[in-house]
Amino acid sequence: MSADYLVPTGMLTGAAAARAIAAGTALPLAGGPVAFGGGEIVRRDGAGQGVREAASLTEIERHSADLLAGFLRPRAQWAGLDLGMPRIMGIVNVTPDSFSDGGDYADPAAAIARGVALAAAGADILDIGGESTRPGAAPVTVEEELNRVIPVIRALAERGHCVSVDTRHAAVMAAAVEAGARIINDVTALTGDPAAEAVAARSGAAIILMHMQGEPRTMQADPVYADATLDLIDYFAARIARLEALGVDRARVSLDPGIGFGKKDPHNLLILNELAAFHGFGCPLTLGVSRKSFIGRLSRGEAPKERLGGSVAIAALALDRGVQIVRVHDVAATFQARAMVLALAGAGA
């Protein structure tokens, strides 16, 4: 049989993963502490929906060798960071209207202090954003965005922190990299500004491509997918091919499925359950679910700052699926959760 898509299953971590790999009953995932012992072969039916069929490791190796390379390849250093262990990206919104912390750090001095505090709490990356992309958010001018983020980026980079700029505007990307940002994090996957691809390619910065159906003002109106996981895989394949044509090595690129960005709850849940499928590109994965509204909808309707438990639970799930970067507001709690996940994975070694 020839497979169109592969979703790894039977995930193992740490010492258990190492033993299974040595015994030939599992394969390493992305060079990290996770392995997989089986999978699902997925093909689209006539309506474009995925038909999932369980497959053993032997069947996957025999019939899907062409798909395995990206899953097995260890990830190279990215933005100067070793991805052999998962990394925490702390969110610093220099905005008056972000869904969770809008206004908390709108003053540059407050945002700088917040970044310093997040780094002290365990953030490996500080993601600085000057435009809210919450559902229904209105755009801001490039000039306003620059005024918000560049002083913060420069100050944090000068302190030696690994800084990311969260923007969809080419002019902001260029200025941020000049100010010391090592990462460009774009919710539009470099499609929101005609100059963004060229600017990002020339910058030499690491790049996060996020999937979003639609745009922030309307993205949650009625998002539709034939199969959310497969549609995102096809989207990322096209975006990576485009960047490679511009000379961007895919080792510079991280993929973020964009939970909550043009997705209903069933879409979010399917993508989260099948996160390991996105390792097939050979790129590091980034996941941002912190405090998002679907956590409240699936729980008791909690306000954003009361969604810590759900946020940490999904971050832990992501680590068990081999995700290399988790983007969060609550760094200290996520750092503690990561420590426990890694400790449990190493138990019995």
Supply the residues annotated as catalytic: 292, 327
Bridge partner list, 92: 128
What is the dihedral sign for C-alpha 221, 229, 329, 131?
Answer: negative
Long-range contacts of 229-234 (CB under 8 A, 24+ apart): 229/5, 229/7, 229/42, 229/50, 229/270, 229/271, 229/274, 229/277, 230/4, 230/5, 230/42, 230/44, 230/48, 230/50, 232/257, 232/271, 232/278, 233/5, 233/277, 233/278, 233/280
What distance lies between CA 267 and its chain's CA centroid?
Answer: 16
Please report, as a single letter, which amino acid is at residue 119: A
DSSP single-letter state for residue 304: G
